[in-house]
Amino acid sequence: MNNFDLKNKIAIVTGGAQGFGLDIAKKFINSGAQVRIWDNDDKELNKVIKKEDNENLRYDVVDVTDFESVNKTVKNLKNSKIDILINNAGITGPTAELWNYSVDDWNKVINVNLNGTYNCCKSIVPLMIKNNYGRIVNIASVSGKDGNANASAYSSAKAGVLGLTKSLGKELAQYNIAVNAVTPAGAKTRILNQMTKEHVQRMLSKVPRGRFLELDELSSLVCWLSSEENSFSTAAVFDISGGRSTY
């Protein structure tokens, strides 16, 4: 896989202790960036830092659903320069019909996936405006386009992320700040453990490629979107669904 030039760039990757987030963080470091991974799981973060043992990888324990937690972390950073923000933190929630979906579960899924993205953007965008530079990539989902049966909260949250991306991208178009989203199909990450086997199989059956997305396939796309080479695309949605989505 190719690397892009991210030298001297500082990146924040939410949900970075595992899965998509961790793979993106590694790709960024290999491309020359300094990365801070955010997650609410202190134990997993410590494991990652010890295993990777890389001076360009740091972490913060952050609850993205809590704006004060996010904002305090940003203000405490010694360097007031954040070049790249990857909003990756997300949960699927339970698999159930909408009328059987509990209010608490609904709110939790919306809070992590959609409100978490809003909180991080709200706190970090002013720094990007000040520096007239930034790349924001929001990890949405193909379900935000198509909708998945028995996953109404997750589908709704990810559809909201797409709307947020398009709005914020237009608001920041006058600056050298690009805001884009990617819509991956399912991948073999721990997020699949939150779903029933039947639901996972149903997801896979919709993908013409006939397989799950590989982590490095997503991280390569995100890396390009986060680089200076992406100088024009903004407020856009980049599909990486193995042919499932055709729009």
Which tokens in the block code for residue 84? 């790249």
User: Is 154 known to be catalytic?
Assistant: yes
Phi, psi of 35 (to 5 degrees): -125, 135
Q: How far apart are CA 10 and CA 6, in angstroms?
A: 8
Find the catalytic residue in 101, 133, 154, 175: 154
183: Cβ–Cβ under 8 A, 6 or more apart, which residues?
A: 140, 141, 142, 144, 145, 158, 162, 237, 238, 239, 240, 241, 245
215: Cβ–Cβ under 8 A, 6 or more apart, which residues?
A: 19, 20, 23, 187, 189
Work out the burial of residue 190: count CB atoms within 10 Å of its CB; fewer than 13 is exposed, 13-18 middle, 19 or more buried. exposed
- Beta bridge pairs of residue 182: 139, 238
| Catalytic residue set | 154
